[in-house]
C-alpha cells in the first residue's frame, strides 16, 4: 500500500455525496446540467456524482468523458500518453452548465487542457470544477468550485487515488518522496500534473 491513507471508501462516498448536493445547490436544480469526467478516474467519479444527483432529484443527469490528452502542454516531455474516448451526452453541452470532474487537482494544467478541449465540442453557459482532492501547488489561476478534501502536500509527495472500478480497492493516500515506487499502482497528482 503506497503511503499514508487519508481517505477510505466511506470518506470518498461522503465527499461525493456532499459534492453532488453542492452542485445541485449551485445550479439551483438539475436543469441543463452536464457532468464530464477527465479520464481515467475523473470519469468514474463523474459517473458516481451523476448517479447521486439523479438519486436526489429523481431525474437522469447527462454524464460523459472529456479526453484532454492532445490539449496538454507537456506532450513533448511525456509523448506516450494514450488518448481515451471523449463521450459527449446526446444533448451536447451548448448552453449547459458543465461540471468538469477530476480526481486530483495539482498544477491546474490538466484543467487548462480540459477547457481547451471543451471549447472544441461546444459552448457551455458556465463551467464549474469538482475535484476529489485539491493538493495545492497551482501553476495557473484555476480553483475548484467543489472539493472532496483539501490535502496540502509537499511538491515531491505523490497522491494515489484508487477506485474499485479500476483498482479493485478504494482509498486515497499520500506518499513521501522516499517511498519506493510501485509500478503496478496507477498514480495521480504527481509532479507532472
Packing angle between helix 9-27 and helix 41-57, nearest 10 degrees? 60
Say if 149 falls within a structural domain: yes
**Mean pLDDT along residues 20-35:** 97
Model confidence at 87: pLDDT above 70: yes
Q: For residue 178, what pLDDT is reported?
A: 72
Say if 175 falls within a structural domain: no
**Mean pLDDT along residues 25-38:** 97
pLDDT digits (tens, 9 = 90+) for 46-61: 999 999 999 999 999 9
Model confidence at 183: pLDDT above 50: no
Model confidence at 43: pLDDT above 50: yes
What confidence category does residue 32 fall into, taking pLDDT thresholds of 50, 70 and 90? very high
Angle at 90 between CA 143 and CA 56, to 5 degrees: 60
Give percent of the chain with pLDDT exceeding 90.
Answer: 80
Model confidence at 26: pLDDT above 90: yes
Question: Domain with 18 in it: what CATH number?
Answer: 3.40.50.2020
Model confidence at 185: pLDDT above 50: no
Say if 167 falls within a structural domain: no
CA 20 to chain centre: 13
Please tell me the distance from the alpha carbon of residue 189 to that of residue 193, in angstroms, as a whole number.
6
Residue-wise DSSP of 89-150: -TT-STTSEEEEEEEEESSSHHHHHHHHHHHHH---SEEEEEEEEE----SSS---SEEEEE
Say if 55 falls within a structural domain: yes
Say if 52 falls within a structural domain: yes
Please tell me the distance from the alpha carbon of residue 29 to that of residue 1, in angstroms, as a whole number.
40
Say if 178 falls within a structural domain: no
Please tell me the distance from the alpha carbon of residue 51 to that of residue 115, in angstroms, as a whole number.
24
Q: For residue 192, what pLDDT is reported?
A: 38
CA 74 to chain centre: 19
Say if 165 falls within a structural domain: no
Model confidence at 188: pLDDT above 70: no
More confident position, 162 or 77: 162
Question: Is the N-terminal amide bond of 40 cis, ω within 30° of 0?
Answer: yes
Say if 190 falls within a structural domain: no
Q: Which domain holds residue 46?
A: 11-69+91-153
Model confidence at 163: pLDDT above 60: yes
The structural domain count of the chain equals 1
Q: What is the dihedral of CA 24, 115, 130, 184, to 10 degrees?
A: 140
Amino acid at each position: 500500500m503506497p503511503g499514508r491513507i487519508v481517505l477510505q471508501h466511506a470518506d470518498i462516498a461522503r465527499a461525493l455525496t456532499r459534492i453532488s448536493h453542492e452542485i445541485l445547490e449551485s445550479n439551483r436544480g438539475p436543469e441543463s446540467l452536464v457532468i464530464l469526467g477527465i479520464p481515467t478516474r475523473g470519469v468514474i467519479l463523474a459517473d458516481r456524482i451523476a448517479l447521486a444527483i439523479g438519486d436526489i432529484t429523481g431525474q437522469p443527469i447527462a454524464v460523459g468523458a472529456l479526453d484532454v490528452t492532445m490539449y496538454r502542454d507537456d506532450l513533448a516531455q511525456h509523448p506516450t500518453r494514450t488518448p481515451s474516448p471523449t463521450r459527449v451526452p446526446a444533448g451536447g453541452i451548448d448552453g449547459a452548465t458543465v461540471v468538469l470532474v477530476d480526481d486530483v487537482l495539482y498544477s491546474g494544467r490538466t484543467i487548462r487542457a480540459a477547457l481547451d478541449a471543451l471549447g472544441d465540442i461546444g459552448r457551455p453557459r458556465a463551467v464549474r470544477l469538482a475535484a476529489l482532492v485539491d493538493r495545492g501547488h497551482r501553476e495557473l489561476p484555476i480553483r475548484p468550485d467543489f472539493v472532496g478534501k483539501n490535502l496540502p502536500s509537499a511538491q515531491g509527495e505523490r497522491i494515489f487515488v484508487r477506485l474499485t472500478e479500476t483498482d479493485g480497492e478504494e482509498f486515497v493516500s499520500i506518499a513521501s518522496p522516499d517511498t519506493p515506487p510501485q509500478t503496478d499502482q496507477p498514480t495521480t497528482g504527481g509532479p507532472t500534473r
